[in-house]
A and B are shown apart, each in its own frame.
Chain A
């Protein structure tokens, strides 16, 4: 990606905050912004690449007659895309033509640093570890944990409640019943679970994490 050669120091902090609470890093590389929707309170960290320009080229039947901008990436609420991750809509070559398909990421999804994501759909409460590669047309259901350094092969469907790891990915376990439950209001203070220093739980509500990112 070509970034402006002379990168000016960000005068007002790292993130641009939108009206709906989305926080987008000034150092992220986003193309085709018209084709990207963010649900609100979603964080796009530095060096994230969103390829919104790779949208579906098929004619969209529009009811009102005017041009409808096709959506290529839609991200839900309270989703965090960590540094260095790439989100690229999946494509298929059919009859010599490349067709892109929209990618849908749901609410409360955590994408770790340096991931490459080409899934067709990622449901809510999914935790994706660092350096994960998700190949085209993967479908990930709710409450899934993807361990770091996993390569999810193309067209794989991951049923809800699975823990997935390996190269290629295979289901290695199930998340416990308490997945994403923050434990009776952990209140202030320190974090819980595997969430590092922050006050949030893997697979749980990421609102606290989003709030803490400034």
Chain B
């Protein structure tokens, strides 16, 4: 998600420190440590997060990003009807809403149930219609009798209004066909005739089995295969029901390693499906030819976009009249754990409608917030009195620009901050960055009233008169729990990358977003905190009182200042 300038991202080094790459020699490790973070490195995409998305593990005393937390699903719910779906239903029916929630297969917006009744009584028949792109189930020939239980009704109606056989009917039909086939084979064996294969072929071409038919045939075939396998199993004497595939696979997995040596008769190798009734279908080139003919006749408009096709439950369809309304995908509520110490970092309340959290350990409450703003113009350029807001999307190359780096402290202890930044930003457009005061202190996050009462921390007065004095080594301004310092940036030139960086690939054109000025800043905090702050109140608070320990925190941040404007030639 692109954020408006200026923004700050925080780097979580979890991935780089956990990879086998990290187990290198100490000298190399040191080198790795001293390497500057390059925000334009493709890998940085996966390490940089806005502060709001980060959690903080108080036991590990480290930032936890979405990559270094383990998620556990608390419950499933439909985002459209906001009903909770029990996990048993999710297992049996899949991760889609089984109520009345459907999305348009063309544009994904939620569909509404409309009545086609013209008498004004809002009676049957009903259709699903998309309020956004006006697609409706009329286009695929589906009308329903009731306005409720839509997914159950849709499961029975195929496109064009034909009924879809239920599982039971399918099984019965398959048995009937199988019987017919075996009878015919017997007949063929007795008196072979020439015409029987041709009639068979003609009948099959008439109604090619649907995707669902084939699937149910195949699953029935595999079930029968497991059944035929189980009697030859040496453990078939016991009273466990081997026809159940789960019991079979469980026992197979239990004994598969050592059952080989006392297997008396080797079971027949499971064969593959060999006929349509067993779920086997041979690709018929004539269907392709038909499809091409159809596209020739009706044009590209009847074909589907890849995204539309892939969203369908049967992704093999080609034409718009094969579309089916999509049942809404379910969402989950998840709790998050630290991957290394397994402590829970965030746990929402299990009720769907509740937005509260039982546990929420935010990085916001442990890591100072860093933000960058342009220095107000009356300080930067004494001559200009214009009130135009600073344009972050057009930084001027080569012109020194002052920014205020603002650091606010959420901790209840004062912190000493050391900032470091490479003097030239990495990447092909090199900008010169100077933090005028890289070492400073930030006050503790005490009661808001202290700010008003304390007279010692009077804010530094800046008037337009002393604007020339942006002194190096001095902070710009400070308050109760915040301090701001001036950063001077000389934005680089977009088109002199040939001599500066060598232009190694000989490619003069900038890649996407390479003109964005992003400054990597390494932040190091030092502070003294009470020992076992997190156990305060649990143990003997008097005993540990006064015991303070030194703590340190260090991390990379990336401040996106703005976009460097193209030089006017």
Query: What residues of chain A have their CB less than 8 Å away from a CB belonging to chain B?
Result: 95, 135, 141-143, 147, 151, 153-163, 165, 168-173, 175-179, 181, 183-194, 196-197
- State the CA gap A12–B484 with chains docked (Å): 35
Interface residue total, chain B, C-beta cutoff 8 A? 56
Task: Tell whether, in the assembled complex, residue A159 and residue B82 are in contact, meaning their CB atoms are under 8 Å apart.
Answer: yes
CB-CB < 8 A to B429: which residues of A?
Answer: none
In this assembly, does B79 line the interface, its C-beta being within 8 Å of a C-beta of chain A? Answer: yes
Among listed B170-178, B200-208, B358-366, B487-495, interface-contacting one = B358-366
Q: How far is the CB of B417 from chain A (nearest CB, A)?
A: 15
Chain A residue with Cβ nearest B51: A178
Among listed B108-116, B138-146, B148-156, B512-520, interface-contacting one = B108-116
Task: Tell whether, in the assembled complex, residue A157 and residue B369 are in contact, meaning their CB atoms are under 8 Å apart.
Answer: no
Task: Tell whether, in the assembled complex, residue A186 and residue B408 are in contact, meaning their CB atoms are under 8 Å apart.
Answer: yes
Q: Write 30 A-B pairs (CB below 8 A) sorted by A numbering.
A: A143-B355, A153-B107, A153-B130, A153-B132, A154-B131, A157-B82, A159-B79, A159-B80, A161-B355, A162-B79, A168-B107, A169-B109, A176-B50, A176-B54, A178-B54, A178-B364, A181-B52, A183-B365, A184-B410, A185-B448, A187-B481, A189-B408, A190-B406, A192-B369, A192-B371, A193-B50, A194-B3, A194-B4, A196-B4, A197-B373
- State the CA gap A189–B406 with chains docked (Å): 8
Task: Tell whether, in the assembled complex, residue B81 and residue A157 are in contact, meaning their CB atoms are under 8 Å apart.
Answer: yes
- State the CA gap A143–B360 with chains docked (Å): 16
Task: Tell whether, in the assembled complex, residue A156 and residue B110 are in contact, meaning their CB atoms are under 8 Å apart.
Answer: yes
Q: A178-B53, A187-B480 are in contact. Are A154 and B408 (CB under 8 A)?
A: no
CB-CB < 8 A to A193: which residues of B?
Answer: 50-52, 371
Knowing that A157-B82, A185-B481 touch, tell me 8 more A-B residue pairs with CB under 8 angstroms.
A165-B1, A169-B109, A170-B108, A176-B50, A184-B409, A187-B408, A188-B479, A192-B371
Q: Mark B120-135, 1 if CB is under 8 A from A, else 0.
A: 1000000000111100
In this assembly, does B404 line the interface, its C-beta being within 8 Å of a C-beta of chain A? Answer: yes
In this assembly, does B285 line the interface, its C-beta being within 8 Å of a C-beta of chain A? Answer: no
Task: Tell whether, in the assembled complex, residue B107 and residue A184 are in contact, meaning their CB atoms are under 8 Å apart.
Answer: no
In this assembly, does B445 line the interface, its C-beta being within 8 Å of a C-beta of chain A? Answer: yes
Task: Tell whether, in the assembled complex, residue A173 and residue B4 are in contact, meaning their CB atoms are under 8 Å apart.
Answer: no
In this assembly, does B20 line the interface, its C-beta being within 8 Å of a C-beta of chain A? Answer: no
Task: Tell whether, in the assembled complex, residue A189 and residue B482 are in contact, meaning their CB atoms are under 8 Å apart.
Answer: yes
CB-CB < 8 A to A155: which residues of B?
Answer: 110, 112, 131
Q: How far is the CB of B307 from chain A (nearest CB, A)?
A: 11
Task: Tell whether, in the assembled complex, residue B80 and residue A157 are in contact, meaning their CB atoms are under 8 Å apart.
Answer: yes
Task: Tell whether, in the assembled complex, residue A178 and residue B331 are in contact, meaning their CB atoms are under 8 Å apart.
Answer: no
Chain B residue with Cβ nearest A173: B1
Q: A154-B132, A159-B331, A187-B479 are in contact. Are A171 and B53 (CB under 8 A)?
A: no
Q: Which of A157, A168, A189 contacts B79 (CB 8 A)?
A: A157
Q: Which of B355, B364, B411 contacts A181 (CB 8 A)?
A: B364
Q: Which of B109, B360, B389 contacts A177 (CB 8 A)?
A: B360
